[in-house]
Structure 1
Amino acid sequence: METGALQGLFNQKTTQQIKTAEFRPGQIINGKIIKLYPEQVAEVQIGNQKMIAQLEAPLSANERYWFQVQPGEGKVRLKVISSGAEDKGQPGSLAKMLGEFSMQPTKENIELVRFFIKEQLPVNRELLKLASEWLSMVDSRSAGQDALKTILTRGIPVTQAAFEALYTATKEPSLVLLMEKLEKALVPLSDSAAGTSLKKLLNEMLPANKTTASEGALNHLASVWLKRDGKESHAALELLKQFGAIPPKSSESLLLQHMFDRIQHSRAAGEVLPEGLNSVKNIVTLVDNGDLAAARQMITSLIPAKTQSANELIESLSFLFYRPPAKEADIQQGLQAFKQLMSTTVDGESISALISVKETWRQAGMDLLKAVGQPHLTGLHAQLLSEAVGKAEQPAPLQETGAAFFNDSKIKKFLSSLGLSYEHHLGELLKDDEIGKAPVSETVKSLVLRLLNENPPPAVKEASELLLNKLTGFQLLSQEAGPIQQLVVQIPFVLGGKTNELTMQWSGKKTEDGKIDADFCRVLFYLKLEHLNDLIVDMQVQNRVMSVQVFNENPALKKMAEQLTPVLKSKLANIKYQLSSVHFQVPGQSQSGRNQRVLSDLYSQKEYSGVDIKI
């Protein structure tokens, strides 16, 4: 979250910020005299903005000065504070400026004045004192300055709440990490209705809270053990032991005997087992009752094998029901027959129900995810672990229908559950003509606000405030500028067994009915990946014709992606979009200056400038 590329997502163009600022009496600005007119009237350039101003003293053309805006109607009135070489930002001149504000020339205050000079932001005594106070409370002054710049250039109210929200949006841990932190803090909180509802909602919104992925990875390893032969089966069993899914001293024979005994116990006790185990349970019952013909018929329907193979399987299974017990070699033969039967009819989830309690299985899965990529796992063990994680992170819809990893319904549900429109919906509800309207639905923001009103424990309060600031920061960044609408948000997903976030900024016009215009828009995506590091995708759509720019430091990315371009083009054509081009840019190469500028400004909001600037 602290990379320059992502910080640029929330920053304005520094060369044009003065256009969005409103000059007020008392503000101090740095400007250059372009042209002098009679009666001490001059054309002054401040940033990229030129204006006509009334000067309070004769000055020289083509020189830079520090001015203070004076009260008055009509033309802007400027009073000279300092001039000449002092605009170089020397400590002496900056100390003199701080003196104008009755502030001490400390290192931090001088740095703050330099920041306002560099960004060409008007400043007055009250703003400088507030900025100094707020920056003293944060860990990263650079991130705090970014938050200040966003406030001053987007017309956001200059309040501590707005500053903290924007600071959290760009500096603090990601949205998903803050959600996870709050969910963990809520675990011991049982006497709060808001806390209980919030804990449930967070659990639903997080990427299966890593539980589904962790259990799925173990289920796959269990399937490998049961369904494959030789070294792979043995390695999968060793991994199940290593992560605590099964007792570390369990041999394959002991594990199979335990599974067989569990099925026998379920028959005697009338216990309901997972659906996938019913066929095995029925066959075992038929063999135990001596109904071998029915057992043979059922096995043949399940296993496309010769009758002789079915007969051999039944004969071997029968050893497990001998009274007194059969010889050890025959029992082992029976257990292997039981394993063969299980391998053809049972999935990994059903296996887990026989060999471990759910809590133990879940914790083992979490430990497994943490071990991905660890150096002590090599060879076949590392290969199977990677395979298990890869299988587990595919969502069910992808496996069943081949749908995209991100689908619109999931994204819409996630964004709706965050409550980014909470204040708007609440305002609509409070209107006189909206009486009787359905109450505002429970969202993360509404529940966090309710929870904070209950004066929760310190750990819960701290986690709640951080998450609230993150959400409010996204709301402040997602604003309308004239006819242009902007949305900034993070969307979680699981990749490589780890939770990642896709930071997305959408900007464009709305249609007449208030919906997003998907024909003309710009969407920017930011990902921080384990091997590719920062990856930025700039997607621009004009009349449903799409051009894509990918920014990444890996020069081989273009070649790796070439084989996927036809697939992208085809998929877009299916939803009536035309792909015009895909360009890859590596920051720091031949056009280094241009690329670096693009990366720093890539996510900058393009200001709507269809109205005159108020001076």
Structure 2
Amino acid sequence: MSSTIQQSIRTAVTSEQVFSLKHGQVVHGSVKKLFPDQRAEVQVGNQKMMAILEVPLKAGDAHYFQIVGDKATLQLKVVTDALNSSKATSSQTKQLMDSLQLPKTTEMQSIVQQMVKEKIPLSKEQLLLAEQWLKEIPPQVKMAEGLLAIQKLSELNLLFTNENFRTLISGQDKNGLHQLLDAFNIALQNDTSIPSSQKGNLDKALAQISQPFSNELGGAILGQVIERLQSQKTSESDKLALLNLLKDVGLVPKQATLANWLSSQVTSIESPADGQGLQVGQLLLQLQNPVRAQELLKFLQNMIQQNQLLSAEGKDEIQQLIQKVVQIAPQTREWNTAIKSLINEVLKAFAEASQSQPFHTDQKLFTPKDYVLSILTSLNGKELDAKVFEQLTLLSSKSNQLPVQQAFITAEATIQSGINSIAIEQAMKQILGNIGFAYEAKLAKGANLSQLSDSLKPQLLALLQNQAIATTLKETAEMIVSRLNGMQILSGENGPQHQFLMQVPLDFLGKRMDASLQWNGQMKEDGKIDSNYARVMFYLDLASLKETVIDMQIQNRVITINIFNESDALMPYAEQFREALKTGLSSLNYQLSGVFMKSYIKQPEPHPILTEAQVSKWGVDVLI
């Protein structure tokens, strides 16, 4: 990534830091006002202090001061002569290095330059530590990244340790997580010291990250299987192969045959709790008991009519069958046959919806596959959860049975063609959850530990407690944890400003993409995000377009989008979507200012878009 883009990241939000002043730190300060009795107002960063002068200073002059003493007896010792604002940063750097008697190395000069430019408070001891760290950074890490990590250590008041330094470097790394996860997976498979149960749990966590649509794909596979089992065009041998797949995951009893796989195996029937939860399976099961049949048929009729997932054609077929059942006398052979046909038709309608609308939910937030699962588990009398869809996906992908392979391929194509903004949002949330991105934050909010423990991060932390694991496995696990920790540290509040970083290793049915997002914006007094002003930067590593950066700036609900890419062929494609984008943003009360294609090298640094900073005044007396 070019230095231009990197610099724009740093200046996306500007706000003066409220540093915690500590003994030994060297800080930049300006004499604002002189008062009688040798008193002066001195501003250090965002803090204004009343100081007692022991040496003559002039109002308007800036100096570097060294903090002496603790907070109770805070003093400022003049380190440099008055700094001329017209002098170059290099001149101020030289003066400060000479005053502190620092080594004249390239690393030290870079650190002090950053310190002067950003007005970072650092002690001489911290400067010497930072110099050593920069000398030891890996070749692939740029000097600018190391300097930014040092700056963040000071701004965030973190312990000045090599571990925190490397964590921050890792957190700002825009290289995707796919490479790290792949390396970890290889090391995991090669390490024979890991207990099989622990390795299995880690394998499962990695699979959930790499297959965000596993549940939806499983639902579409189930829809395909049901559709083919119900079709007269499917041969008996193919139906047997498909039926065996349902048996393997427990969706139908082991003794089920092609003639009775949809017949209820339940001998006792409990009444459904009307209006509570997903009840379609129990409702259909109740229809086989004629005592409440008329009442339940009416309830089913209303439920089907109001359902947002079913097609109009599917609803009509079900309603016609309901009308037919109503006109037949209960407990007759014709009535039993009609009830079975009705159950078959309801299952068919939701099976079709699980393929045509895999990412949609109804008013109760249930998906079509949830209804299919409800019907099959109720008829089977066996309680199954959503993990059955993952099992279906896994078994189907490995099956050597041609009809199962065909169902898998068709379902995969259906899911791929149905991916939309809802699916992308759902996948990103699922991947971040499976990685354990906000693991500690969720724990702090009282989330269920058992539910969080299946995610990758807590499993990596547990793995690192094992001293017997191979060095390669340990190193890759530490790198992943460090990356996640770094992003969390860099995501946080700074007064009214807020920054959020995240990386998502997207894998859509074999199509891989590493996506990083950085959001900068303001928080309102009520603690909510101010949607009127923000800056969002997307870093994408795409198969064809390669490295692409999308910089979206929002000023008073007016959006400007800059796309950085080296390809000259993008603009015609962008024009095709401009009106759709404009219309979509307008529906959300945003105005599109423009979409601009830019190269990395030629662009000047963008101006900061957020300049407000809270000013806090200290009433501390200090001695200069």
| Residue 53 (structure 1) shift | 3.6
Match of residue 155 from structure 2: 153
Q: Contact 2:47/2:615 (CA < 8 Å) preserved in 1?
A: no
Amino acid paired to 1:488: L
* Paired residue total: 434
Aligned mates of 1:459, 1:15 — CA distance in 2: 40
Kept after mapping to 1: 8 A contact 2:519/2:536: yes
Cα pair distance change 1:442/1:608, threshold 3 Å: farther
Query: Residue 597 of structure 1 aligns to which amino acid in structure 2?
Result: E
Question: Are 1:472 and 2:485 matched, yes or no?
Answer: yes
The residue type equivalent to 1:500 in the other structure is M
Letter in 1 for 2:415: P
Do the aligned partners of 1:486 and 1:506 also contact (CA within 8 Å) in 2? yes
Deviations 1:320-358 (A, max 9, x none): xxxxxxxxxxxxxxxxxxxxxxxxxxxxx99x9699xx9
Evaluate the alpha carbon distance shift between residue 165 and residue 526 of structure 1 in structure 2; reply closer, same or farther with a 3 A threshold. Answer: same
Q: Superposition pairs for residues 273-422 of structure 1, below 5 Å?
A: 396-399=414-417, 401=418, 403-404=420-421, 406-422=423-439
Task: Identify the residue that residue 584 of structure 1 maps to in structure 2.
Answer: 595
1:500–1:59 CA distance, 2 compared to 1 (3 A): same
Q: Tell me, in whole angstroms, the C-alpha distance in 1 between the residues paired with 2:76 and 2:428.
A: 51
1:310 — aligned with what?
A: none
Distance in 1 between residues matched to 2:550 and 2:433, nearest whole Å: 25
Partner of 2:109: 110
Residue 468 of structure 1: how far off its partner (Å): 0.5
Cα distance in 2 between the residues matched to 1:512 and 1:85: 38
CA contact (8 A) 2:517 2:538 kept: yes
1:566 aligns with 2:579: yes
Q: Do the aligned partners of residues 12 and 23 (structure 1) sit closer, same or farther apart at CA in structure 2, a change above 3 Å counting?
A: farther
- Paired position in structure 2 for 1:197: 201
Map Cα deviations across residues 430-480 of structure 1 (whole Å, 9 max, x no partner).
Answer: xxxx9x975643211101101111121011011001101000011112223
Residue among 536, 551, 563 paired with 2:550: 536
Q: Which amino acid aligns with 1:581?
A: L
2:118 is the counterpart of 1:119: yes
* Contact residue 48 and residue 617 of structure 2 kept, 8 A: no
Q: Does 1:449 align with 2:461?
A: yes
Q: Percent identity?
A: 26
Q: Name the CA distance, whole Å, in 1 between partners of 2:476 and 2:401.
A: 39
- In the alignment, which residue of structure 1 is the partner of 2:505? 492
> After superposition, what is the alpha-carbon deviation per residue over 1:139-165, rounded to whole angstroms, capped at 9, x for unaligned?
233211111112222344444333221
1:492-518 CA-partner distances (Å, limit 9, x unpaired): 335997632221134567899998787
Native 8 Å contact 1:15 1:48 kept in 2:
no
Q: 1:117 to 1:406 in 2, by over 3 A?
A: farther
Query: Counterparts of 1:85-96 in structure 2 under 5 Å?
Result: 89=90, 93-96=95-98
Q: Contact 1:203 / 1:209 at 8 angstroms: preserved in 2? A: no
CA distance in 1, matches of 2:591, 2:112: 46
Q: What CA distance in whole angstroms lies between the structure 1 residues aligned with 2:517 and 2:46?
A: 29
What are the Cα deviations for residues 136-190 of structure 1, in whole angstroms up to 9, with x where unaligned?
3312332111111122223444443332211012237422221121112111235
Q: Please say if residues 481 and 607 of structure 1, whose CA atoms lie closer than 8 Å, have aligned partners that are also in contact.
A: no
What is the TM-score normalised by the length of structure 1? Answer: 0.57
In the alignment, does 2:610 pair up with 1:596? no
Q: What is the aligned partner in structure 1 of residue 66 from structure 2?
A: 68
Residue 420 of structure 1 aligns to which amino acid in structure 2?
A: F
Distance 1:181 1:129, change over 3 A: same
- Tell me, yes or no, if the aligned pair for 2:171 and 2:484 is still in contact at 8 Å: yes
Measured at CA, do residues 5 and 417 of structure 1 come closer, stay the same or move farther in structure 2, by a change above 3 Å? Answer: farther
Q: CA deviation at 1:565?
A: 2.0
Q: Name the residue aligned to 1:552.
A: 564
Quote how far apart the aligned CAs of 1:520 are: 7.7
DSSP-derived class of the 1:461 partner: helix
Q: Name the CA shift for 1:353/1:167 in 2 (closer, same or farther; >3 Å).
A: same
CA distance in 2, matches of 1:63, 1:534: 45
Note the alpha carbon deviations across 1:360-400, whole angstroms, 9 max, x for none. Answer: xxxxxxxxxxxxxxxxxxxxxxxxxxxxxxx99x974341x
Cα deviation for residue 202 of structure 1 reads 1.2
Cα distance between partner residues in 1 of 2:413 and 2:45: 51
Please state whether the residue corresponding to 2:537 is helix, strand or coil: strand
> Which AA in structure 2 matches 1:561?
A
Partners of 2:12 and 2:535 in 1: CA distance = 17
Distance (whole Å) between structure 1 residues aligned to residue 497 and residue 57 of structure 2: 41
**Partners of 2:180 and 2:479 within 8 A in 1:** yes
* Comparing 184-193 and 114-123, the one that deviates more: 184-193
- Give the superposition deviation at 1:198: 1.7
Alpha-carbon distance in structure 1 between the residues aligned to 2:510 and 2:487? 27
Q: Is 1:26–1:125's contact at 8 Å kept on the other side of the alignment?
A: yes
Q: Which residue of 2 aligns with 1:163?
A: 165
For the residues of structure 2 that align with 1:520 and 1:34, how far apart are their CA atoms? 32
After superposition, the Cα gap between the structure-2 partners of 1:497 and 1:47, relative to the gap in structure 1 and judged at 3 Å, is same
Q: What displacement does 1:427 show? A: 3.9
The structure with the greater share of residues assigned to helix is 1
Aligned match of 1:245: none
CA contact (8 A) 1:194 1:450 kept: no
Residue 178 of structure 1 contacts residue 467 of structure 1 at CA under 8 Å; is this kept in 2? Answer: yes
Q: Give the superposition deviation at 1:556.
A: 6.6
**Whole-Å Cα distance in 2 between the matches of residues 437 and 444 of structure 1?**
13
Residue pair 1:558, 1:584 contacting (<8 A) in 2 also? no
Name the counterpart of 1:423.
Answer: 440
- CA 1:403/1:15 → structure 2, altered by over 3 Å: closer, same or farther? closer
Give 1:583's aligned amino acid.
G
Give how far 1:116 is off: 1.3
Give the secondary structure class of the aligned counterpart of 2:201: helix
Q: 1:176 aligns with which of 172, 175, 178?
A: 178
Q: Could you tell me how far 1:526 is from its partner in structure 2?
A: 2.6
Question: How far apart, CA to CA, are the structure 2 residues paired with 1:513 and 1:32?
Answer: 34
Q: For 1:20, which of 15, 18, 21 is the aligned residue?
A: 18
Is residue 2:127 matched to residue 1:128?
A: yes
Shift of residue 108, structure 1, vs aligned partner: 2.8
- Looking at structure 2, the residues matched to 508 and 561 of structure 1 have their Cα atoms a distance apart, in angstroms, of 26
Whether the aligned pair in 2 keeps the contact of 1:67 and 1:81 (CA below 8 Å) is yes
Q: Distance in 2 between matches of 1:79 and 1:42?
A: 14
Deviation at 1:484, TM superposition (A): 5.6
SS at 1:454 equivalent: coil
1:55 aligns to what?
A: 53
**In angstroms, what is the RMSD of aligned CA positions?**
4.9
Distance 2:12 2:581 in 1: 32
- Determine the C-alpha separation between the residues in 2 that align with 1:555 and 1:41: 62
Report the Cα distance in structure 1 between the residues aligned to 2:558 and 2:575, rounded to whole angstroms: 17
Task: Tell me the TM-score normalized by structure 2.
Answer: 0.57
Aligned to 2:356: none
Q: Which runs of 5+ in 1 are unaligned?
A: 214-265, 276-348, 359-390
Distance 1:92 1:547 in 2: 43
Task: Quote the Cα distance in structure 2 between the aligned partners of 1:551 and 1:82.
Answer: 44
Given that residues 20 and 613 in structure 1 are in contact (C-alpha distance below 8 angstroms), is that contact kept between their aligned partners in structure 2?
no
Change (3 A) 1:610 1:134: same
Q: How much does 1:195 deviate? A: 3.4
134, 141, 146: which one aligns with 1:144: 146
